[in-house]
Structure 1
Amino acid sequence: MTRNVKISLAAVGAFAIVVAALLFATRPSGPESAPATQQVAAGDAKLNNAPNASVTMIEYMDFECPACAQLHPVVDQLVQQYGDRVQFVVRYFPLPMHPNGEPAALAAEAANQQGRFPDMSAKLFETQQAWAGQQGAEQTFRGYAEELGLDMAAYDAAVAAPATAEKVKADTRAGAEAGVSGTPTFFVNGEQLNPQSVQDITDALDRALGQ
């Protein structure tokens, strides 16, 4: 790991301890093994654009999951630090216990279709406490789309489109088939991680990069 990665992650050290405690708060015991590879599709939501990256990290997330929100700043930090060496991919995995998890995923996917997934993802996590468990969240998410300057006709059409809902379901099925049982769950080059801390994630990325 480069020195600047270590320094920047050290700046969130106390936060990482909290994350470590929350990381499996919504995940029951499940398989630790996974298929050797997971194919990344062109339409998958991505946090960065790294077409030549030698390493891919896939995160299965639920926007209403507290642990996912807690980890969001750390993942954002990793995206910045690893740059074009790692492609960061997101798959939707709304949990049944979270009533607004699926509507949030639809909103994020609608933004993804306009190339604005990172912005909508950040907005959803930063405001999670305002809408989690609340009625009328769909209108709240639409308001976020307006704030981001999205094409609202296209956004509304995408949220209502069966294909968007199917994308969310397809991600969830892919996760379940790979052994995902809760969020967040990470895969690095197809290998499921079982991290107890942020350091475990960076160590896995560094190993995959051959550092």
Structure 2
Amino acid sequence: MSKLKKQLIAAAVLLAGFAAAFGSYLLFSPEERRSSGLDVKPAAEALPVRESSHRLSEPKKSELTIVEFLDFECEGCGAYYPVVEQLREEYGDRVTFVARYFPMPGHRNGELAARTAEAAARQGKFEEMYNKLFTTQKEWGEAQESKESVFRGFAKDLGLDMTRFDADLADPNVAARIQADQRDGLALGVQGTPSFLFDGERITNPSSYKAFKALIDAKLSD
């Protein structure tokens, strides 16, 4: 392993250790949630993973499914991103990693970022946009103005058909797709981001890369 890679992993461990402090949580009344942009109700029959869910790894023989309900603007999600990437590299041949949308109230561009990712997914570029949004989060996150022009720039960088991208970004069905993930999340007890599920069961967010790896190893050895 290169020295640079070791440094990146060490940084990821440190970031993940503080992720709980940066996470986003639903500390709102139902009325406040509606006014903050989370006007969705829990799904009547929730599923941790649906056929339409975005799988970041698809091993031939999956031994564990890890679902992350995430908000691209959430600093906690950004802190966990390099940890999840390293775990994907190590366990992608045994573990199915799934990303599901859960944009939080109070994040001006969280829902827009989710629609950006879903619009990219319609052109087969979900993972590329997922990576782009997280690796650039510090450039656009926590802004009070719309970052649609920035996200359109990302779409151009990925070589997307911009006419189709713009149409999909404004398509009510794309917004509904985001809300479908939110409804499942709410019904499964998700109250903040990031939230991780192991085979459908919510876990306490691991405090470090080492702790996350230990949880996976324990599950795989059952």
Paired position in structure 1 for 2:170: 160
TM-score (norm 1): 0.84
1:48 equivalent in alignment to 2:57: yes
Name the SS of the counterpart of 1:111 in structure 2: helix
Paired position in structure 2 for 1:33: none
Paired position in structure 1 for 2:22: 25
Q: RMSD in angstroms over aligned alpha carbons? A: 2.4
By how many angstroms is 1:126 displaced? 1.2
By how many angstroms is 1:51 displaced? 5.2
* Deviations 1:137-191 (CA, angstroms, capped at 9, x unpaired): 1121111011001122222222111111011111111111111111111011112
The correspondence for 1:13, drawn from 3, 10, 22, is 10
Paired position in structure 2 for 1:139: 149
> Closer, same or farther in 2 for the Cα pair 1:210/1:120, shift >3 Å?
same
Gaps of 5+ in 2: 28-45
* Deviations 1:32-91 (CA, angstroms, capped at 9, x unpaired): xxxxx9442222122223353121100011010111112111111111111221111011
By how many angstroms is 1:11 displaced? 6.0
Paired position in structure 2 for 1:125: 134
Contact 1:47 1:117 in 2 (8 A): no
Paired position in structure 1 for 2:93: 84
Name the SS of the counterpart of 1:121 in structure 2: helix
The correspondence for 2:76, drawn from 67, 79, 89, is 67
What number of residue pairs does the alignment pair up? 199
Gaps of 5+ in 1: 31-36
By how many angstroms is 1:13 displaced? 3.0
Contact 1:26 1:183 in 2 (8 A): yes
Q: Percent identity?
A: 40
